[in-house]
Structure 1
Amino acid sequence: MASALDEDTQQSLAAGRESAKAFLRSIQKDLQKVFIVFLLGFLGTFWALRIYVWDFLKAVTEANMTPEIAEQTEIIAQTPFEVILLQAKIGLIIGGIFALPPLIYFARDELRARGMWPQSPVPRWKIAAIGLLGAGLFTVGVAYGVYAFFPIMFSFLAGFGLEAGLQPTYSIVMWTEFIVFLSLSFGLAGQMPLLVTGLSYSGIVPYETFRDKWRYAVVAIFVFGALFSPPDPFTQLMWAFPLIALYGFSLYLAKVVVTAKRSSDRIDVAAAVRNHWNVVAGAGVLGGGVLYAFYEYGGRTGANDLLRWAGSDWRFLPPGEGLGLDPVTAAGVYAVGWALAFAFVATLWAVYRDLDTTSPGSQYGDPTALDVSELDAAGVLAAPDEPFVEMTEEESVALAGAALEADAPEKARAILDRYDAIADLSGDGDGSSDGGDSDGASGSSAGGSGGSGGLADDVGDRTSRASSTFLSELTEGDDDDDDIGGYYTDLRFIFDSLRSRSFRIVAVFGGVMALAFTWLYLGGLATVRADLEARVPAEVDGGINIITLHPVEALIFMVKFSVLLGLIAVFPVVLYYAWPALRERGFVAGRLRQVYVWTGALFAGLIGGFALGYGYIAPGIIGWLVTDAADANMIITYQVSDFLWLVIFTTIGIGFLADIPVAMVLLNKAGVPYEALRGRWREVTVGILLFAAVFTPADVITMFMMTVPLMAAYGVGLGVLFLVTFGGRRNLSPPAEIVGR
């Protein structure tokens, strides 16, 4: 049988096998040592988990809880071998991490021979310094998560769950993985200074990119914190502020090393301290004074009041309490520590200041590293050609646009003139850009107060031309409606019609989502749970016990449910704005008032189905399930996500089922014939499976339990259309143009 792999692939695999064999042969005599290190890491982790770690993590979880909440918080094992398998898995991972450094060390000769090891010797002190810095940052990040973030977060989660009638009964696997992975995220976040500095120094990502995009970094940090931390503002600020400060420190280190590299200057800490000894000494005195004022003038009391208001049990103790030191000695130690910390920050500033002001322009040893955005109009005109040679049209337009936003039209005109001049010299200009006169100075002056409007139009034209290049190449020659180019043009036309209204669409979606989440968060979840539990048959003792196996399981459900309601609410808005474009491109038929018919019919079906489900179907199904379990003498304990999704499926889900036949009739009225809906049942099935995979728990059976009723409703819709259209012979509207393509 012929091989399925081509010759080049087979040769690459053979070379890889030979490399692996040579690598293993080179370290064969040392594999026993590596295995011993691995075994020690595995056994040590296994022993530590049994003797110390579980109790430590439980203590961290309950550190900030009230005694009442801590008493009701439990960690459970769901299967007999769950704990020991979890210990073995963690032990294998830690053992592998322990064994990796000696493995690399023993294989250094083979790695060097294959060009995977630095050929020139690297001073060991530099390697040790980088390793110690990385380990220190990682340790600080993990310590912050374990000792500061987790106690407050778990206290909030457990208290919120109990208020909503949810028992905080965490699965040991989910609970451990949540703590471990979130701790690792803090530890890896602590590596941000090394990562940013390394990328900037190597030139992979310029320092200016990290500096200019700091707003995006701040937004990303807050978004990540909103997704992976409780929704209370105090916890989110505890997540975001340290990472923002760390990003600022990363920018500082990157600026220092990049400036030193570009100017070929050496970092001399001692000389910087001598040059700015007054600032360093003053910062040290200020640090000691801040500490003194904190304890002597009510700072400790104010901080403790703030912590008490935030619900934290942490308090700032008087000097020396808990350390076995008298107050005077402890205050002196604290003052020295703060003075050194302030002096250290001042030293960093001194180093930065000396590097940044060594000589005019020395920070740009490489002309291509010149940051055009930092120059004024005269500086742009006097700058060397290298930055503009490396510049693309999109970059020049972006720089000119930023200058216009900063009310500097002369600078914007100068940037466009310099780029056009370089493009003309290199033969890349197409003659279509009339960014200014051939004389850069006259163009600059023309872009003054009187010509800002024309300059803005020029920037807009260039932006449109640059952004349309890819789209035009994608659809070039694809005007035929039978191929993908024609469909792409139609979809782009429709999306362009929505883009100008995107703010309203996002506002409706975000507003409904925020209202739904706020209602659930402020007691709606507990209200629904109590109302449904009241409908349970009276002979079931104890009601329904609903537990959270994962610390943020209830919050994840609330977010998913809020997104679902936001999508439902935004659908008529999108349909209203997209209808003219849909009609123009032949997707639908009928006037705009059809949107009101669609909205009324779909919402009537949804609300009617919801009322039927909430009033009769959901209580009936839940009551039957609870009674069946009680008759078998079982303890009724449901996982919160499974129970609440059952409620959603049997309430709003009934409304969706009712809407499917209604929507099919509306589509037929809009120009989608019966034959098209009947012939596309495979695509509909795939779409329903994808929808179920996103909006149901991670369970295949549950996904199919949702898919089958939806497909049944689709079948009912086909039956209704068969009757209404007489088997497809009389559609409610003529087929839309898109159907014939």
Structure 2
Amino acid sequence: MASALDEDTQQSLAAGRESVKAVLRSIQKDLQKVFIVFMLGFLGTFWALRIYVWDFLKRVTEANMTPEVAERTEIIAQTPFEVILLQAKIGLIIGGIVALPPLIYFARDELRDRGMWPDSPVARWKLVVIGLLAVGLFSVGVAYGIYAFFPIMFSFLAGFGLEAGLQPTYSIVMWTEFIVFLSLSFGLAGQMPLLITGLSYSGIVQYETFRDKWRYAVVAIFVFGALFSPPDPFTQLMWAFPLVALYGFSLYLAKLVVTAQRSSDRIDVFDAIRNHWNVVAGAGVLGGGLVYAFYEYGGRTGVNDLLRWAGSDWRFLPPGGGLGLDPITAAALYAVGWAGAFAFVATLWAVYVDLDTTSAGYQYGDPAAIDVGELDAAGVQAAPDEPFVEMTEAESLALAQAALDDDDPEKGQAILDRFDAVADEREADDDDGSDGDAASDGITNSVGDRTSRASSTFLSELTDGEDAEDDIGGYYKDLRFIFDSLRSRSFRIVAVFGGVMAAVFTWLYLGGLRTIVSDLESRVPAEIDGGISVITLHPVEALIFMVKVSVLFGLIAVFPVLLYYAWPALRERGFVAGRIRQVYVWAGSLFAGLVGGFALGYSYIAPGIIGWLVTDAADAHMIITYQVSDFLWLVIFTTIGIGFLADVPVLMVLLNKAGVPYGAFRGRWREVTVGVLLFAAVFTPADVITMFLMTVPLMFAYGVGLGVLFLVTFGGKRNLSPPAAIVDR
């Protein structure tokens, strides 16, 4: 039997296995030392979590809460071994991270023999500087999350939950992982300057790519913040603005390093400081003066008043407060530190100015250092040959790609033409011009037609040629034709989806969620003492539920719009029959079934099921506490879910009217059952009972639909429409 992996992949995997075995063999004598380091990290983490970390995280959580909210916020363990297993898991992770450096160190000889270790020695001071920068940036990111972001975030989440009638009772596992993962994300985000600078310096990613794609980076930062932070604007801005500023600072450092790399023989840091001594000295004086003014002229008092107004318990202490220093000495140390920081930034500016003028040929007239990425198409064509002589093929493709992404294909083609021309001249001098022409054509074609070639290659792999496309019944062509017909209407479709989603989320956020919870709680039988308590085990559980429900309503609302715009293409391909006015019949019928089922479920079925469950638990003398996601999804399944069940027979009648005969529905019930089981397995919790709880009602509704069609079509003898072309495939 042929392997699913090609030969190159198999060889790579085999080489990787051999490398791992060789590394492990080479460090056998040192494994005991690595294991000791691992155990120290594991036991130290385990001890710290028990003695200090839990209380510290609880203080961080309640730091910005009012006393009333903090009193009602609880951290609970759901299983007997949950806390100790969580400590063990975190200890294993920290132990593995701590043991990794000595593991690599002891395996350095084997790594060097396999070409995985630098041959030329790297100065230790450089490694120390890089390590200190990485640790410092990571620590700053984590500190920002713990001391600034989390207190405000948890205060909002707990307060919002209580206002919505939800008890903030967080699971210790979910609560801890939430804090740890977000703290790690801030710490990793703090590595952005080091990462961007390193990638630019090594040439893995061109600096021009980071510079030209800054808009996409800003959008990605705000989108990530919208997904992982509460929906209030203040918290999202607290997430996004520091990262945007950090991205800008990273770009500055990257340009500084790359320019220094390209002009390393033409710049001296001390010369730059001497050339701009007035700016460097003035920046140092400004930094020290700001510290003096902050403490002397009421800056500390004003900031503390602002923090108190915002509800934060954090305050700026007097100089030396908490450090055991007298105010004068502490203020002097603060002033010296900030003066040094300002002078350092000014030094970077001075070096950048001298490097910029030097590298661009401004001072020395070096045309080879011209930045081609900053030129327009005419500038590229008029530029001398020197920049393209020094340029590699990968750099030319990267610059051309950046121009294409900026909707400037003329500039991209000009870069490739100039690079090809210079390459042809160089190869002609070496009497090897034919290969250069072929490479030139390959480069131009790879940029000009890469999208169409990629899509055609994917299609050929997917369909295995024209025969395979015919074998699958031409469904790919049909679907592609339908999607192409929707492309020009995509803005309106997205606008409807986004508008409905935003409206539903806003209603839930501004009180709709509390209205639903309160209304359902009011229907609990009066004899149940204390009623029910709905809790949130995860800090953002309620927000995630609101987003999911908003997406669900957005999909429901966008369905008739999709159907309207896709109807002509569906009719042309034989999926449906009738004029476009049939869309109104489809949309109206399905909407009526959905609304009718929802009204029935919300008025009778949902309260009845909840009342029965509550009474059963109360009779067993249990404390009735429901997790918000489980409780509200039960409500969704017994309200909107009833509407979907009502729509199954309605949809079957509509499809029969569109040309799907009764015999097809009756003969394909096995395929429908498998499809429903697959759907239930994906969209329900991972247990068999809930999967069948969804599958059985849907198949019952399908059976009702078959019964309705049997009556309407006289057992399939008189279908509402002749069979469509799609049925014969």
| Structure 2 length-normalised TM | 0.88
What's the offset of the Cα at 1:256? 2.0
Structure 1 Cα separation of the partners of residues 180 and 672 of structure 2: 41
Shift in Å, 1:198: 2.0
Question: Partners of 2:19 and 2:661 in 1: how far apart?
Answer: 61
Whichever residue aligns with residue 372 of structure 2, its letter is D
Displacement of 1:314: 3.2
1:589 maps to what in 2?
577
Aligned residue in 1 for 2:48? 48
Residues in 2 aligned to 1:474 and 1:674: alpha-carbon distance in whole angstroms: 37
Q: Which residue of 610, 629, 636 maps to 1:622? A: 610
2:437 alignment partner, one of 405, 418, 426: 426
Change (3 A) 1:728 1:272: farther
Q: Residue 185 of structure 2 aligns to which amino acid in structure 1? A: S
Which has the larger displacement, 288-297 or 629-638? 288-297
- 8 Å CA contact 1:393–1:466 kept in 2: the answer is no
| Matching residue of 1:212 | 212
Which residue does the alignment assign to 1:440? Answer: none
Question: Residue deviations 1:561-601, cap 9 Å, x none?
Answer: 11001100111111111111111222211110011001111
Q: In 2 relative to 1, CA 297–355 (structure 1 residues): closer, same or farther, beyond 3 Å?
A: same
d(CA) in 2 for partners of 1:282 and 1:109? 50
1:466-505 to 2 correspondences below 5 Å: 467-472=451-456, 478=466, 482-483=470-471, 486-505=474-493
- Assess if the C-alpha contact under 8 Å between 1:388 and 1:418 holds in 2: no
Relative to 1, partners in 2 of residues 1:291 and 1:307: Cα closer, same or farther, differing over 3 Å?
same
Q: 1:89 corresponds to which residue?
A: 89
**Shift in Å at residue 666 of structure 1?**
1.0
1:534 aligns with 2:522: yes
Q: Equivalent residue for 2:164?
A: 164
2:130 maps to 130
Q: Counterpart of 1:240?
A: 240
- Percent of pairs identical after alignment? 81
Q: Aligned AA for 1:510?
A: G
Distance 1:214 1:8, change over 3 A: closer
- SS of the aligned residue for 1:546 comes to strand
Paired residue type of 1:72: R
With normalisation by structure 1, the TM-score equals: 0.86
- What are the equivalent positions in structure 2 for 1:41-80 lying under 5 Å apart? 41-80=41-80
Return the letter of the residue paired with 2:107: A
Q: Distance in 1 between matches of 2:440 and 2:15?
A: 46
Q: CA 1:267/1:415 → structure 2, altered by over 3 Å: closer, same or farther?
A: closer
In the alignment, is the contact (CA less than 8 A) between 2:399 and 2:415 conserved in 1? no
Q: 1:731 aligns with which of 716, 719, 725?
A: 719
- TM-superposed CA distance for 1:60, in Å, is 1.0
Once the two structures are TM-superposed, the CA of residue 480 in structure 1 deviates from its matched residue by: 8.9
Counterpart position of 1:456: none
Mean Cα deviation higher: 49-58 or 707-716: 707-716
The whole-number CA distance in structure 1 between the counterparts of 2:30 and 2:473 is 60
Shift of 1:357: 1.6
Query: Counterparts of 1:369 and 1:670 in 2: how far apart (Å)?
Result: 65
- 1:564 pairs with one of 533, 552, 555: 552
2:521–2:531 Cα contact (<8 Å) kept: yes
Q: Which runs of 5+ in 2 are unaligned?
A: 425-435
2:599 to 586, 611, 622: 611
Q: How far 1:149 sits from its partner (Å)?
A: 1.0
* Residue equivalent to 1:450: none
Alpha carbons 1:642, 1:697 under 8 Å: kept: no
What per-residue deviation string (whole Å, max 9, x for no partner) do you get for residues 669-695 of structure 1?
Answer: 122233333454455445545654565
For 2:479, what is the secondary structure of its paired residue?
helix
SS in 1 for 2:358: coil
CA distance in 1, matches of 2:440, 2:580: 46
Partner Cα separation in structure 2 for residue 105 and residue 500 of structure 1: 58
| Greater Cα offset, 534-543 or 393-402 | 393-402
Matched, 1:707 2:728: no
1:429-459 deviation line (CA, Å, top 9, x unaligned):
99xx9xxxxxxxxxxxxxxxxxxxxxxxxxx
**How many angstroms does 1:94 deviate by?**
1.4
> Which one of the candidate residues 645, 659, 680 is aligned to 1:671?
659
Q: How far apart are 1:479 and its partner, in Å?
A: 9.1
Between stretches 486-495 and 692-701, larger displacement belongs to 692-701
Secondary structure at the residue paired with 1:75? strand
SS of corresponding position for 1:672: coil
Superposed displacement of residue 655, structure 1: 0.6
Deviation at 1:727, TM superposition (A): 3.1
Q: Which amino acid aligns with 1:45?
A: T
2:74–2:168 contact (8 Å) kept in structure 1: yes
Decide which of 639, 643, 650 is 2:631's aligned counterpart.
Answer: 643
* Residues 252-273 of structure 1, C-alpha deviations (whole Å, 9 max, x = no match): 2221222222334476433322
Retained in 1: the 8 A contact 2:656–2:662? Answer: yes
Q: In 2, distance between residues paired with 1:364 and 1:706?
A: 75
Q: CA RMSD in A?
A: 3.7
Partner Cα distance (2:365, 2:684) in 1:
55
The 1-side partners of 2:670 and 2:276 are apart by: 74
Which one of the candidate residues 622, 629, 635 is aligned to 1:634? Answer: 622
Question: What's the CA shift for 1:14?
Answer: 7.0
Bigger Cα displacement from structure 2, 338-347 vs 387-396: 387-396
**Residues 26 and 421 from structure 1, CA distance in 2 versus in 1: closer, same or farther, beyond 3 angstroms?**
closer
Give the alignment partner of residue 507 of structure 1, picking from 486, 495, 498. Answer: 495
How far does residue 289 in structure 1 lie from its aligned partner after superposition?
A: 4.0
* Superposition deviation, residue 102 in structure 1: 1.3
Q: 1:308 to 1:488 in 2, by over 3 A?
A: farther
- Structure 1 counterpart of 2:649: 661
